A and B are shown apart, each in its own frame.
Chain A
């Protein structure tokens, strides 16, 4: 057998099982759900084909746009908050001393605790009467800064972004740590001799070396943020008056709560389309020059 023949056999046999499982359990349901989006269907009983009406209705609904805007706030907060913090921590926490191990593990722990618990604790931090945050502000004489952090539609999206960032640093931290392992000590030493220290070292050596991992992290940030809802749902329930509504809650609500299965499916397809646009955009921006 020729080399290229062997290569081809390997590629086909190697990819087949993954592609098969992926196609059956992910791709087919996605297109199936997009198809439901063309129907007026309660999820029970008869359905009528209505073309793009559901999609058009979603795009006309101000709540859809508000949810999208709120999701974009989370995307920006995640990319601008989680990634830099995780990157810096991954550079600091690379050793196997007991202290470093402890910190590294602690940073990950919000991830293992159920969202309900995280949401409740932050609920107490922001609590309008017995909230820790307002208590601290009050103690330091900053009474004028006291707010109803989760109830005021002007600020509550920012309030909920903080715990979202805080709780999700862990995965990016381990992602970056594993990527940084790969920078060989020779390169590091060479860089040191060349005088690449501090910020220069970060920009010239570290970031280029783990560029592909950063790209993956950004995709994960975007997809995670657009699907995220549980933590915010525990804290605000999407309210008050839908001020912290997210695309995922908007979709879920229509699909399972108000008996508009077709419409919910259309929204979910829109979520995929919007995420695709964001992912493509980010990857284009990040092309290695």
Chain B
């Protein structure tokens, strides 16, 4: 009897062990295969390199980025490249888990601003300045300020793979013609347009603010800059000589609230997501929309050619007495490929070459041709890109870029202002929200 008992338990444990063993085997099998094909002598010298990014989908930009990585892989048989395309929904979670465990990949995509700063502060990344110095024509072609939010202490840690304009002012040409509304260039004209469209039963501005960053990133970043000017915001975000409770910022929040009070947005704006908001606009149910450059791709995917032809793009109207430059768009450098501190020697060289292959001039050209804004002086191929993108990118190159709020605020404070704007749409008070933002930013910086 006893023997039997032990035998059964042993079986159960063996099953457990077998499971882990079979997993081991298959992963060994995988790593063994490529080295076997290139000969055992070469495999000893093969440089192992890993890259993580979130360009996993079937959209043009993701394909363009992956194509660059594949090209690199083909051109460098001496490098054993482990490229991981991780779904965007889980990317941050995955990256943060491995960061907490101290197991970073050699090269990884990270957002600019606050995100890359956390990796810098944590001492996990190293500069890529030597690479930029090696290719000066590449370095000098970046737009002004493109590398700012990816640099610390005079060293560049990544170059932007794509840029973003977060506050493009889209409008429906035929609706403006039909109701003989002037495309607004001042705040009064905007409010007048809002009234006219409302009187005719057309939603003036499409807004879907369920993912609360949208109103912040697309509307407030630009609107507040018109009122306060960029200098004030940079001071306030570093809590050095300005506060978010200052009257100019409260005024900016008030202007946003005025829009909401004037019924500029569709009902239930807080429960629609950005795709629904873009859909609403492209179908001609709303006359205007303030949205980022990602909308160019989304609208092209969900709208018909006829609908897309109605769309024009410009900058947000100016604000009376505002200190900011009205010919500007909030936006900046998107994320880029950062380099782990652990990479040294041959691995470091390989990693730098990989970064250049993906984010160098050739990569920039491929990405811009996928209808994505880049912070790099390059001409998109007009025969490939959509006309709307071509227009938007022209505009992007011709205006000044102002900061996007959440790229400068701490993540805790960004969370507060995101929720605050939803609250404002529900009837919250600008003063209260300004105070909460001030408290959050001050507290996060003091930690």
Contacts and interface: CB of A to CB of B under 8 A. Distances in A.
A42 B122 contact: yes
A255 B271 CA distance: 25
Given A153-B426, A240-B209, A259 B268 contact: no
A237 B279 CA distance: 19
A43 interface: yes
B419 A241 contact: yes
Interface stretch (B8-16, B26-34, B51-59, B362-370): B8-16
A17 B13 contact: yes
A53 to B, nearest CB: 11
Contacts of A1: 2
Contact of A151 (B271, B419, B420): B271
Contact of B122 (A9, A45, A126, A242): A45
Contact of A44 (B121, B212, B273): B121
Contact of A256 (B9, B12, B96): B96
A141 B162 CA distance: 51
Interface in B108-161: 118-119, 121-124
B246 interface: no
A240 B100 contact: no
A13 B123 contact: no
Contacts of A44: 96, 99-100, 118-119, 121-122, 124
Interface in B407-447: 410-412, 414-415, 419-420, 422-423, 425-426, 428, 447
A241 B423 contact: yes
Summarize A's interface: helix, strand, loop or mixed.
Answer: loop
A16 B267 CA distance: 59
Contacts of A81: none
Summarize B's interface: helix, strand, loop or mixed.
Answer: helix
Contacts of A45: 121-124
Nearest to A253: B415
B118 A259 contact: yes
A102 interface: no
Contacts of B211: 237
Interface residues on A, range: 35 or more
Interface residues on B, range: 35 or more
Contacts of A241: 270, 419-420, 422-423, 426, 428
A127 B419 contact: no
Contacts of B273: 237
Nearest to B203: A129
A236 interface: yes
A42 B414 CA distance: 16
Interface string A252-281: 010111111100000000000000000000
Contacts of A288: none
A163 interface: no
Contacts of A21: 16
Given A40-B447, A44-B99, A257-B411, A240 B270 contact: yes
Contacts of A43: 96, 99-100
A10 interface: yes
Contact of B212 (A14, A17, A240): A240
B92 interface: yes
Nearest to B94: A256
**Most B CB atoms within 10 A — which of A128, A235, A253, A260?**
A128
Contacts of B123: 45
Contacts of A13: 5-6, 9
B271 A126 contact: yes
A151 B268 contact: yes
Contacts of B447: 40
Contact of A236 (B12, B13, B210): B210
A153 B422 CA distance: 11
Interface string A227-241: 000000001110111
**Most B CB atoms within 10 A — which of A127, A235, A242, A255?**
A242
A239 B422 contact: yes
A59 to B, nearest CB: 17
B301 interface: no
B9 A17 contact: yes
Nearest to B266: A129
B419 A256 contact: no
Interface in A27-42: 40, 42
A161 to B, nearest CB: 16
A78 to B, nearest CB: 23
A150 interface: yes
Interface string A69-107: 000000000000000000000000000000000000000
Contacts of A239: 210, 212, 270, 419, 422
Contacts of A188: none
A287 interface: no
Contacts of B92: 256-257
8 contacts: A13-B6, A42-B122, A44-B121, A129-B267, A151-B426, A153-B426, A237-B273, A240-B271
Interface of A: 1, 6, 9-10, 13-14, 16-17, 21, 40, 42-45, 123, 126-129, 148-151, 153, 235-237, 239-242, 253, 255-261
Interface of B: 1-2, 5-6, 9, 12-13, 16, 92-93, 96, 99-100, 118-119, 121-124, 209-212, 266-273, 280, 410-412, 414-415, 419-420, 422-423, 425-426, 428, 447
Given A45-B121, A148-B271, A236-B271, 15 more contacts: A9-B2, A17-B9, A17-B13, A44-B99, A129-B268, A149-B271, A150-B270, A151-B268, A151-B269, A237-B212, A239-B422, A256-B93, A257-B411, A258-B410, A261-B96
Q: Which 4 A-B pairs have the closest CB atoms?
A: A128-B268, A44-B122, A45-B122, A240-B270
